[in-house]
Amino acid sequence: MNAYSQEVSNSPDNKNSRKLLASITHEGIFQYKVMPMGLTGSLDKFQEIMDEVLFRLPNCYVYLDDILTCASDEDIHLDNINAILQRIAEFSMKINIAKCQFGRPSA
């Protein structure tokens, strides 16, 4: 999921803190445009963003870049998936379709 780089890079906190992660080399000064993974607090920030993006969607559960939805029947499940995909599109986020699993039965 590319949401991390898209949303975190637009956050005011990130724009104000870019200079703190700048690197100076013989080729110039370089700053991250997105919050790098592994930075202290970056996972917490990403979780916060995903919680906001998918807020109030029925039967939608988010853990970092994993999104789970469940329903009692197939029609409701498809509606839930559609709502999630619409919300992701509204926030100009992208998903990696190769990593997605749709319509999986519960264990």
pLDDT single digits (tens) 14-35: 567 778 888 999 999 998 887 7
Domain boundaries, the chain: 3-99
Q: What is the pLDDT of residue 55?
A: 96
- The residue with greater pLDDT, 107 or 78, is 78
Beta strand pairing status for 23-25 and 28-30?
antiparallel
Residue 90: pLDDT over 90: yes
- Mean per-residue pLDDT over the chain, rounded: 85
User: How far is it, in rounded angstroms, from Cα 40 to Cα 54?
Assistant: 24
pLDDT tier at 41, thresholds 50, 70, 90: confident
User: How far is it, in rounded angstroms, from Cα 74 to Cα 51?
Assistant: 25
